[in-house]
Structure 1
Amino acid sequence: MIFRILEDQFAQKARESKDADRRFMRLALALGKRGQGRTWPNPAVGAVIVKDGVIIGRGWTQPGGRPHGEPEALRRAGEAARGATLYVTLEPCSHFGKSPPCADAVIAAGITRVVAAIEDPNPEVAGQGHARLRAAGITVDVGLCAAEAAFDHAGHFRRIRDKRPHVILKLAVSPDGKIGTAGGKPLAITGEAVRNRVHLLRAQSDAILVGIGTVLADDPQLNCRLPGMEARSPIRVVLDQNLRIPAAGQLGRSARETPLWVIGSELAEAAAATRLGAAGAQIIRVAPGNASGLDLSAVLHVLAEKGITRLMVEGGSRVAASFVAADLADEIWLFRGAEEVGPGGVDALDALPLSKITQSQAYKVHASETFGKDTLTIYERA
């Protein structure tokens, strides 16, 4: 009987320990999100240091990608980190870059256990960080909240494995599948709460991309206008094959304050490039694709080379359809408003049906949210 009681007590403590591990890892994941959109080309890592059940340090990757999340948490914990547990959303790095290896900092701090959500696919790490920790006598557990971490670090993974950014396509559609009126008259599909959510997504993206058609029709700013977060506006990227973007528009006028990258064809006129460059825009030339525009794969490749990991696509129906048709939309944020546009409206995906997303076996629902009468469904690759 006494052994049964002891076994039950041990099982209870084990469950409590696992529950605690999960809580602390989810906090680390939440902290990592603070850095999204600001740490590229580095991943936005969250870290929590716990001793005797008490949080003694927390950190996340800082703007520009340094310091990394682990050293930031160790700095805040100080000497108390000795004998503690580190929860981290990505394997600590093991190589010398612009800063020393995080694994060495963890060892030097006297951490005795590391709980990592997922291994880093970067060939310079790829299990070597965990191996170095274990060689130093540190207990390393890997895989807690791995799916959540993989979703949060999708940009880092995509850039390492596929040499392109993780593409987040944002769509706002009416119940009848429209994104606007045929005449181009301004139309609010969704309400203010959705607009705020979209601006937060902008702040969590390294760059935001639209086509020249959207620029000429709407003269957008493509920045983050949430109070207190204006400095977190992403790089603005415009697909503009012939470099027609007006330097006097809102994007051109603000190019020196918030970076503007204009991607044009190698065949575009040099005079147009000079005009935009004088306004502060950076001109990027890629090979032309087919008759309808630029080679999207080439566009994404050059953006990845420049360090972009999370790319938000917020263009019109043609740009959206191009990414879906090319199988380059990795994550889709589908907002739905409550009011129909009616006959003559602009279809969300140009000639493609919306079912290409909603009923496709290529995507699965990741999450959903409600904003009054408006809804959001987030799709990810299945």
Structure 2
Amino acid sequence: MSHEFYMQRCFQLASFGEGLVAPNPLVGAVLVHKGEIVSEGFHHQFGGPHAEVAALQNMHDTELLKKSVLYVNLEPCSHFGKTPPCTDLIIEKQIGLVVISNQDPFPQVNGSGIQKLKAAGIEVITGILDQEGKFLNRRFFNFHKVRKPWIILKWAQTNDGFIAPLPENKHERVALISNSESRTLVHHWRSQESAILIGMNTLVSDNPFLNSRMVNGKNPVKIVLGNHRQLPADLNIFQDKNTPVLIYNFSVTEKNENAEWIKLEKNDQVLENLLHDLYNRGLNSLIVEGGTITLSSFINTGLWNEARVFTASHKSGSGIKAPDLPHGKEIRNQVIDTDRLMCLINPENYN
């Protein structure tokens, strides 16, 4: 078997940590002896053991361990954080060869783990499936290199390109555009991301929950952007007291039992300043589910990384047009029951 084969297994293992380890990266590790995987592990939760540690601790034959190759998709850490350095355990276990996909961009690592292993006489191979590894950990890489959350735009549109009824037909909002299978998938996505954002108009008109209730997963931090206004305490987003609600507005900074209000200056840097604040809060990904105005504000400023668009089979004939996304590069196109899902990336914000 090739290095790529075992690295693919690392990716598979790493993905089990989606929605559980942020702001840490997704990491999987396997130990291979004479072409056979003899142990494996992945990072289960933030603050928990790292993937390499799990794989090494699952292997009890110390002599076999010394003859094994360690595969891991991200450079082992070399610093004390919430756990001791993984490099120390690798050196202690006398692993002879470590194969890595990506160097860790985190400033406290950033090549030092690789150098520490080499200084201990361990052979290190890097760059295996490098691009695939970076895409798997795109939120983590973007967070540390660009210092912003990874931004995912999501909306559903009718077959003739409408995202919602016209304001004078507000009663039609009960007619959902996407099917139940698509909506369940969206709740799964929400459980994987750090935060979810809508505009004030969507909050007031739709009264959404912004949670992951259709799947077994965590709820994202709930974010609203728009002009300050008095909001009823019985809005759905306020009912879960365990999930923070951040309301970015242009008037007040205050905090009450329902939400934290953060004042932004009303200028052309509104979104940049909002994203900077989310970065400072350690939120490394954001799914935007607002209406056309909110979505278009991210598109027009180039502040997006991915877009996930559901197109239903039915037409509405009229309504509010869905956003225009002229520069997206399609990476996925699939049918989900009666809907079609298209996923795109912004090539200007991905490398």
Q: What's the TM-score once normalised by structure 2's chain length?
A: 0.90
Is 1:23 the equivalent of 2:13?
A: no
Q: Could you say if the C-alpha distance between residues 106 and 327 of structure 1 is closer, same or farther in structure 2, counting changes exceeding 3 Å?
A: same
Equivalent AA in structure 1 for residue 39 of structure 2: G
Counterpart residue number, 1:297: 272
Counterpart residue number, 1:99: 83
Structure 2 unmatched runs, 5+: none
SS of equivalent to 1:25: helix
Question: Which of 279, 283, 298 is 2:261 aligned to?
Answer: 283
SS of equivalent to 1:167: strand
TM-fit CA distance, 1:114: 1.7
CA distance in structure 1 between the partners assigned to 2:47 and 2:300 by the alignment: 33
Equivalent AA in structure 2 for residue 208 of structure 1: I
Question: Which of 320, 324, 331 is 2:295 aligned to?
Answer: 320
Counterpart residue number, 1:34: 16
Equivalent AA in structure 1 for residue 321 of structure 2: D
Is 1:368 the equivalent of 2:350?
A: no
Structure with higher helix content: 1
CA distance in structure 2 between the partners assigned to 1:304 and 1:149 by the alignment: 22
Counterpart residue number, 1:156: 140
Contact 2:47 2:83 in 1 (8 A): no
Tell me which moved more, 195-204 or 33-42: 33-42
Counterpart residue number, 2:193: 205
Q: Could you say if the C-alpha distance between residues 372 and 94 of structure 1 is closer, same or farther in structure 2, counting changes exceeding 3 Å?
A: same
CA distance in structure 2 between the partners assigned to 1:100 and 1:146 by the alignment: 26
Contact 2:47 2:82 in 1 (8 A): no
TM-fit CA distance, 1:249: 0.8
Question: Which of 224, 239, 243 is 2:225 aligned to?
Answer: 239
Q: Could you say if the C-alpha distance between residues 57 and 174 of structure 1 is closer, same or farther in structure 2, counting changes exceeding 3 Å?
A: same
Q: Could you say if the C-alpha distance between residues 248 and 93 of structure 1 is closer, same or farther in structure 2, counting changes exceeding 3 Å?
A: same
Q: Could you say if the C-alpha distance between residues 246 and 117 of structure 1 is closer, same or farther in structure 2, counting changes exceeding 3 Å?
A: farther
Q: Deviations over 1:177-201 (max 9, x none)?
A: 1112112322322211111211111
Counterpart residue number, 1:346: 320
Q: Deviations over 1:38-62 (max 9, x none)?
A: 2222222222222233333322223
Equivalent AA in structure 1 for residue 212 of structure 2: C
CA distance in structure 1 between the partners assigned to 2:284 and 2:192 by the alignment: 11
TM-fit CA distance, 1:166: 0.7
CA distance in structure 2 between the partners assigned to 1:381 and 1:314 by the alignment: 17
Aligned length: 341
SS of equivalent to 1:77: coil
Is 1:87 the equivalent of 2:87?
A: no
Q: Deviations over 1:162-186 (max 9, x none)?
A: 1110101112122221112112322
Equivalent AA in structure 1 for residue 205 of structure 2: A
Q: Deviations over 1:356-377 (max 9, x none)?
A: x2x42xx322222221231212
Structure 1 unmatched runs, 5+: 1-16
Question: Which of 294, 306, 309 is 1:331 aligned to?
Answer: 306
Counterpart residue number, 1:68: 50
TM-fit CA distance, 1:83: 2.5
CA distance in structure 2 between the partners assigned to 1:23 and 1:226 by the alignment: 34
What stretches of structure 1 move > 6 A for 4+ residues in a row?
none
CA distance in structure 1 between the partners assigned to 2:65 and 2:265 by the alignment: 52
Q: Could you say if the C-alpha distance between residues 263 and 56 of structure 1 is closer, same or farther in structure 2, counting changes exceeding 3 Å?
A: farther
CA distance in structure 1 between the partners assigned to 2:314 and 2:77 by the alignment: 50
Equivalent AA in structure 1 for residue 79 of structure 2: H
TM-fit CA distance, 1:241: 3.6
SS of equivalent to 2:331: strand
SS of equivalent to 1:370: strand
CA RMSD of aligned residues (A): 2.0
CA distance in structure 1 between the partners assigned to 2:10 and 2:214 by the alignment: 24
Q: Could you say if the C-alpha distance between residues 318 and 145 of structure 1 is closer, same or farther in structure 2, counting changes exceeding 3 Å?
A: same
Where do 1:103-252 residues align within 5 Å?
A: 103-182=87-166, 183-184=169-170, 185-186=172-173, 187-227=175-215, 229-230=216-217, 232-242=218-228, 244-252=230-238
Contact 2:73 2:102 in 1 (8 A): yes
Q: Deviations over 1:142-179 (max 9, x none)?
A: 12221121112111111111111010111212222111
CA distance in structure 2 between the partners assigned to 1:52 and 1:144 by the alignment: 19
TM-fit CA distance, 1:261: 2.2
TM-fit CA distance, 1:251: 0.8
Q: Could you say if the C-alpha distance between residues 189 and 38 of structure 1 is closer, same or farther in structure 2, counting changes exceeding 3 Å?
A: same
SS of equivalent to 1:278: coil
CA distance in structure 1 between the partners assigned to 2:97 and 2:193 by the alignment: 32
CA distance in structure 1 between the partners assigned to 2:332 and 2:96 by the alignment: 36
Q: Could you say if the C-alpha distance between residues 379 and 347 of structure 1 is closer, same or farther in structure 2, counting changes exceeding 3 Å?
A: same
Equivalent AA in structure 2 for residue 195 of structure 1: R
TM-fit CA distance, 1:348: 1.3
SS of equivalent to 2:7: helix
Q: Could you say if the C-alpha distance between residues 241 and 113 of structure 1 is closer, same or farther in structure 2, counting changes exceeding 3 Å?
A: farther
Q: Could you say if the C-alpha distance between residues 82 and 283 of structure 1 is closer, same or farther in structure 2, counting changes exceeding 3 Å?
A: farther
CA distance in structure 2 between the partners assigned to 1:376 and 1:101 by the alignment: 41
